[in-house]
């Protein structure tokens, strides 16, 4: 009811059709904000009450997401105060990004040369990414 009490650092959203469990969506949004520097060390995450009254979701979902982030060592909860960012996530440096981008551009040229259109490329990358992350887990 009183969302303005604590200045909010980020605002969560849900993609109901994404097929990703709501608590994982919240975890990813925090990770994303950490990578992009939208959340910094010491920042407070929205309170459970704030998220619940904004998204009309189950508070247990928010708690589950925050517990997961805590387990990953990204945030810490202080009883009675809230949940705070412990460390930011380092994304690639600008130089790394440029180098990766150059390689990817080269690969995309090759793919187009082999007759793939954008959709085919996206599908191909999605499949590669999925099997790659599966190997990582296994």
If the CB atoms of residues 16 and 79 are measured against another protein, the closer one turns out to be 16
Task: Quote the least distance from Cβ 38 to another protein, whole Å.
Answer: 24
* Site for another protein, rule CB under 8 A: 1, 14, 16, 19, 21-23, 48-49, 52-53, 55-61, 64
If the CB atoms of residues 117 and 135 are measured against another protein, the closer one turns out to be 135
Task: Quote the least distance from Cβ 49 to another protein, whole Å.
Answer: 5
Residue of 23, 16, 25, 22 whose CA lies nearest to 64? 23
If the CB atoms of residues 59 and 92 are measured against another protein, the closer one turns out to be 59
DSSP 111: H
Task: Quote the least distance from Cβ 58 to another protein, whole Å.
Answer: 5
Task: Quote the least distance from Cβ 93 to another protein, whole Å.
Answer: 34
- Cβ-in-10-Å burial (0-12, 13-18, 19+) of 81 comes to exposed
Bridge partners (DSSP) of residue 76 are 84
Alpha carbons 54 and 67: distance in angstroms, whole number? 20
The CB density around residue 26, as the number of other CB atoms within 10 Å, is 25
If the CB atoms of residues 22 and 30 are measured against another protein, the closer one turns out to be 22
């Amino acid at each position: 009811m009183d969302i303005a009490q604590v200045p909010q650092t980020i605002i969560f959203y849900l993609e109901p059709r994404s097929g990703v469990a709501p608590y994982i969506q919240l975890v990813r949004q925090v990770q994303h904000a950490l990578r992009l520097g939208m959340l910094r060390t010491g920042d407070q995450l929205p309170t459970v009450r704030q998220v619940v009254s904004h998204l009309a979701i189950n508070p247990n979902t928010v708690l589950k997401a925050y517990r997961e982030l805590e387990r990953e060592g990204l945030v810490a909860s202080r009883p009675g105060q809230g949940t705070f960012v412990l460390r930011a996530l380092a994304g690639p440096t600008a130089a790394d990004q440029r180098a990766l981008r150059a390689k990817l551009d080269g690969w995309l040229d090759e793919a187009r040369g082999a007759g793939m259109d954008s959709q085919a490329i996206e599908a191909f990358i999605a499949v590669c990414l999925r099997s790659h992350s599966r190997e990582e887990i296994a």
